[in-house]
Amino acid sequence: MRKKLTIHFLQNFKLGLKVVTKHNLICWFFFSLVISNTEADNLEKGINKNLSVIIDGGKVSVRYYDFSVEGSKNTSSDVILFIHGFRSNARYFHPIASAFSQVGYRSFSLELPGYDKSTWGTTTELLNYELAAYGRYVASSIEAISGAEDIDLKRLTIWGHSMGSSIVYRAIVDHPNLFSCLKSIVFEAPAFANSITKVSKFAIWLSIKILKLGDRHDSSSERWLKWLGIGGSTDNYQVFVQNAYSMLKPENNIKQEVLDRLGLEKVFWLWSAKDIAVYSPPPDFIPNEQSIQVFVGHSISHRAPKKICDAILGWHSKTHVEVSQ
């Protein structure tokens, strides 16, 4: 009887979900667009998975794309390392990376542990998938990738999108000396706790309720993730839930004193008033000339790569940031 009731509920829910989606009240893709496989067909040659780092006592693979083009691979080039957001994957940044490659920038995009198993062939696991653990992973990966790719840290920009911005911020909190050596930091549609909209909070809550209908000890959770499209590129239920809860914690809020230690002049902020996932205008302590608003929704750099590239280039050309030695 219980099984029949569950099936009946899910059938009705799926019908209701279609109605709700038509009215734009719930969007399961609330944090990141995952680019199509067609768009990613030519990216396989840029896959790197030979590095590893030690996080919380365990060996963790470092998986990343090299989006650089021939001719830009020299140590005098400026470099960007991208960190993707919730439910997304490292391929999200291909359009903006392509725009920067045309002006000589090298660019790399880091795949977070617990994401995009279908591309990499296996999942990469952490002891937990909260933002602080990801921050430790990002900091260690910066050191590993910069060594392997011969990157001058003084020419390196770290760019986080959505949850990726929160992860970068957590890395800055715990590793200020490393980040004070970098050229700049870009926060794109940052998903800090106080910026996550009610629509997104409700979507998170409802998603978790649905996933709990399955038995966590078999593969049913993964089937539900794929069936409803809830999971995006997350590999499993644990990654999805721990990511979501961690973003909503009060410690996932930006503080001026943290960026002051880094150097506020190194921070650039991208946001959109049309973003239904997060409402993230820059805080008052971010100077106006270090932010830009683009009316394209949550996937700012993916939707407007040329405009964003030009904005960052203009900012870099006007600023001469003193980098700590």
CATH number, domain with residue 37? 3.40.50.1820
In a domain, 81, yes or no: yes
The 3-state DSSP class for residue 184 equals strand
Q: Which of 16-25, 117-126, 218-227 shows the lowest mean pLDDT across its residues?
A: 16-25
pLDDT digits (tens, 9 = 90+) for 190-200: 999 999 999 99
Tell me the CA distances in angstroms from 78 to 152, 167, 195, 312, one per residue in order. 8, 22, 31, 12
Which position has the token pair 């609330």?
A: 30
In a domain, 72, yes or no: yes
Cα distance between residue 200 and residue 206, in whole Å: 10
pLDDT digits (tens, 9 = 90+) for 200-254: 999 888 888 777 665 444 555 555 555 556 778 888 888 999 999 999 999 999 9
CA proximity to 278, closest of 114, 164, 172 = 164
Question: Which of 2-16, 22-36, 253-267 holds the top average pLDDT?
Answer: 253-267
In a domain, 325, yes or no: no
Q: For residue 31, count other CB atoms closer than 10 A to its CB.
A: 29
In a domain, 53, yes or no: yes
In a domain, 176, yes or no: yes
pLDDT band for position 45 (50/70/90)?
low
Which position has the token pair 């004193």?
A: 257
In a domain, 191, yes or no: yes
Six-digit token string for 143: 């050191």
In a domain, 324, yes or no: no
In a domain, 323, yes or no: no
CA proximity to 162, closest of 138, 186, 137 = 186
CA proximity to 131, closest of 259, 40, 245, 219 = 245
Position 124 scores a pLDDT of 81
Give the count of domains, the chain. Answer: 1
DSSP 28: T
Q: Model-level pTM?
A: 0.85
Pair 82, 107: CB distance under 8 Å: yes
Owning domain of residue 85: 2-318
